[in-house]
C-alpha cells in the first residue's frame, strides 16, 4: 500500500472558505468596481490582508518573496510582469 501526502497549509483552507462563504462577493457588492489603474481588485486585496494576518510572524509576509514560493498566486499575476509580492506591498493601510 502506498500513501501520498500533500501539504495544504492552513492558509489554503482560509482562502477556500473566503470564497465559499461569499465574503469576496460581499466585498464586491459593498465597494463596487476597482479602478482600472490598480493591479489588485478589492476582493484580492482583502484576501491578501487576511492571509497575511494569519502568518503569525512579526514581519509582514508580503515583503519577502520566499513567502510566496509555495503559495498559489497565479491569479494575482494577471499577465503583468510585476512580482506578486511587489503588488501586494502597494496596499495602503489606513
For the segment 55-87, what is each residue's pLDDT rounded down to a tens digit? 655 555 555 566 666 666 665 555 444 455 455
CA neighbor of 50 nearest in space, from 36, 62, 37: 62
pLDDT at res. 72: 62
What three-state secondary structure class fits 78? coil
What three-state secondary structure class fits 27? helix
Q: What are the distances in angstroms from CA 58 to CA 1, 32, 61, 82, 93?
A: 42, 33, 9, 25, 17
Instruction: Tell me whether residue 94 is in a domain.
Output: no
Residue 14 sits in which domain range? Answer: 9-89
Q: Count up the domains in the chain and report the number.
A: 1
Instruction: Tell me whether residue 4 is in a domain.
Output: no
pLDDT at res. 81: 47
Instruction: Tell me whether residue 23 is in a domain.
Output: yes
The predicted-structure confidence for 12-63, as pLDDT tens digits, reads as follows 777 778 888 888 888 888 887 676 767 777 888 888 778 777 665 555 555 5
Amino acid at each position: 500500500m502506498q500513501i501520498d501526502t500533500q501539504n495544504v497549509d492552513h492558509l489554503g483552507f482560509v482562502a477556500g472558505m473566503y470564497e465559499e462563504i461569499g465574503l469576496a462577493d460581499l466585498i464586491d457588492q459593498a465597494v463596487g468596481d476597482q479602478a482600472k489603474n490598480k493591479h489588485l481588485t478589492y476582493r484580492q486585496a482583502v484576501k491578501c490582508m487576511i492571509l497575511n494576518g494569519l502568518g503569525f510572524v512579526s514581519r509582514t509576509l508580503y515583503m519577502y518573496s520566499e513567502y510566496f514560493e509555495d503559495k498559489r498566486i497565479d491569479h494575482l499575476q494577471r499577465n503583468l510582469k510585476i512580482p506578486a509580492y511587489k503588488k501586494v506591498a502597494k496596499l495602503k493601510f489606513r
